[in-house]
Amino acid sequence: MNLTAMSDREQRGDLMAEPCLTPRVRAVFAVVGGLLAVQCAFIHFFGEPYPALTMPTFSGSSGYRDGAVEMTQYDAVFISAGQEFSFTPNELLAEFPDGHRAAIAANALRPTSDTAPTPTKASRIRRIQETIFPGFAAGNLSRNSAENKASLRAWLRGRAESLVPGRPVSRAEIRWYRVAETFGADGTRVESRRTPGGTLIVPLAGGPR
């Protein structure tokens, strides 16, 4: 009788008899499942964090919706003696790094009303941010303050002198619009629709207003 062969068969049998889901593996699955449940609740109440254990939501609210690619863009237009000089965002914000231009445009160049924003109850995350980083959202929440308006006007005056040299510029207009483009199966553009999205007008002539 071959005792070595019998011993090998017994060892293989013992390995096959061992359960695949050991207590440690079950604990890992339980922890991951619990983290997913906690994160889903966090996303529901506070918004999606990064990084996240779940796939990000692609609800079609921005880049792609209703079969078309949508983009929000703007042009910077300087008015001088009734003549318009238009510049792209990259030309207007050329002195800033690429990674900061989208945030600057969203927080400083969006159209705004002359009335003060209605106070709203800050979320728990916003309160934590303000506690750790005082003034975290000051530039965005107080856009109508005299200091912010004066700062934006002074900066646009400097850009006007650089982009439209030798011409007196009376005002700057940041014209926002939304572009929806539809493409065919071969990748060619079939249709392009442009919808106005508001204009931020900043007077540059004379003193502060």
**Which range (134-138, 146-150, 162-166) has the least confidence?**
134-138
Beta-carbon contacts of 64 under 8 Å, excluding residues fewer than 6 positions away, are: 70
pLDDT score of 193: 81
Please report, for the chain, the start and end positions of each structural domain, with discontinuous segments joined by +: 3-46, 64-203
Residue 120 confidence class, pLDDT cut points 50, 70, 90: low
Whose structure tokens read 């931020």? Answer: 200
- Could you tell me if 110 and 197 are in contact, meaning their C-beta atoms sit under 8 angstroms apart? no
DSSP 123: P
pLDDT score of 114 more than 70: no
Q: 33: alpha, beta or left, given left = phi > 0 and alpha = psi -120 to 50?
A: alpha
User: CA nearest 30: which of 17, 21, 20?
Assistant: 21
**Which range (3-7, 66-70, 107-111) has the least confidence?**
3-7
Residue 39 amino acid letter: Q
For the segment 151-167, what is each residue's pLDDT rounded down to a tens digit?
999 999 999 999 999 99
User: CA nearest 106: which of 171, 204, 179, 176?
Assistant: 176
